[in-house]
Amino acid sequence: MSFTRIHHITLVTGDLDYARHVLCDGFGLAVDEHRTPLPDGRRADGATVLEVPIGEMYYEVVRPDDAQSEAARFLTATNGRGGIRSIAIASDDLESDLARLAQHGVRVRARPEDGGAELDPATSLGLEIQVIADDHYYVHPAYRGNGAATGMAHIGIAARSAREVRRLWGDAFGLAEDVNSSRSLARDEEPPPETQARGQAIDPVFLLEFPLGGSVIEISVPTSADSGTARLVAQRAPLGAVYHHSCPYTPDVYRFMEQAEAAGLQPIGELPPRGERPFVVGWLHPRSSLGMLVEVWNRPPGPGHHQPHTHPA
């Protein structure tokens, strides 16, 4: 039994036309019209849904059509900005994996009629996570977009504690931490204040990475109290964690960012001159990208990122 991959990321928006513009014109992706035919999409749970594939997963874009749905409440709570509401993780043995989660204190909140399980955020650091049986989703080549983005490098989460993160993703989900990428501390350590460890990003955080299928769960733990990440955790992660960003993988960051800017998306900072560095990172402001901070890079995945991780004995 194992969790095999991130199945999809759910975004909530009040404007599906703009969402399609961002993801298709800006990111170079395409709506899977076989599963969510245009122009009307698919109706589900009081909402209209579009699926936009990216590599082995997809962005599930949800527009609430009533005021009572979970999506509607999320949109209201974010003052209409929307953003990442949840992720769905695929399992090749759903009931056994749910039993494992329960053994580690992660409870099920609901079992939707279409299968799977919604985890109780009170037991998953406040994160909305759905676990579903792997349906071996495969997108038709017609819906793979123009090649500017070919997969999801990682899903970014901000959290208050490395220990809590390891208990959830390592112990409960059974994922193996990539210590080479995390530059990880010892099992029971927390990153010291103002650390200058190699795992530190530009914003003073310590990074922990848990590969899952062809992507990665990347967690940023703030190492100072006054950074943007620290403020986000303080304001929006009362139970320990909050979704921070998504990071599409692209063979050419310059092409991706040029296309995104041409579509009206707002970059954060500037890219280095072309050819100066082998690995390049770009950022897009959430106000122009569906309330979702976007990182984009060309770092190839590590050697374990395309293999499912089995649970330790």
CA angle at 162 for the pair 157 and 166, rounded to the nearest 5°? 85
Whether residue 1 has pLDDT greater than 90: no
Whether residue 219 has pLDDT greater than 90: yes
For the chain, give the mean pLDDT: 89
Q: What pLDDT is stored for residue 227 in this prediction?
A: 86
Q: What pLDDT is stored for residue 224 in this prediction?
A: 84
The region, left, alpha or beta by phi > 0 then psi within -120 to 50, assigned to residue 291 is left
Q: Provide the token pair at 47.
A: 């909402």
| Sheet architecture: strand order including 215-222 | 205-212, 215-222, 151-159, 241-249, 293-297, 281-284
Q: What pLDDT is stored for residue 257 in this prediction?
A: 98
Per-residue pLDDT tens digits for 169-195 = 999 999 999 877 554 444 445 544 443
Q: What pLDDT is stored for residue 239 in this prediction?
A: 96
Q: What pLDDT is stored for residue 143 in this prediction?
A: 95
Strand partners, 91: 3, 133
Per-residue pLDDT tens digits for 278-303 = 899 999 999 999 999 999 999 876 55
Return the domain boundaries, the chain: 3-143, 151-297
Residue with token string 């509607």: 72
Residue with token string 């949840």: 86
Q: Provide the token pair at 213.
A: 């299928």
More confident residue, 113 or 164: 164
CA gap 8, 58 in Å, rounded: 5
Architecture field, domain 3-143 = Roll (3.10)
What does pTM read for this prediction?
Answer: 0.90
Q: What pLDDT is stored for residue 115 in this prediction?
A: 82
Q: What is the CATH number of domain 151-297?
A: 3.10.180.10
* Identical fold between 3-143 and 151-297: yes
169 Cβ contact partners less than 8 Å away, ≥ 6 residues apart: 175, 177, 210, 217, 219
Lowest mean pLDDT among 68-72, 180-184, 268-272: 180-184
Q: What pLDDT is stored for residue 68 in this prediction?
A: 87
CA gap 52, 30 in Å, rounded: 6
Per-residue pLDDT tens digits for 231-263 = 999 999 999 999 999 999 999 999 999 999 999
CA gap 34, 32 in Å, rounded: 5
Q: What pLDDT is stored for residue 189 in this prediction?
A: 52
Q: What pLDDT is stored for residue 169 in this prediction?
A: 97
CA gap 240, 122 in Å, rounded: 10
The region, left, alpha or beta by phi > 0 then psi within -120 to 50, assigned to residue 147 is left
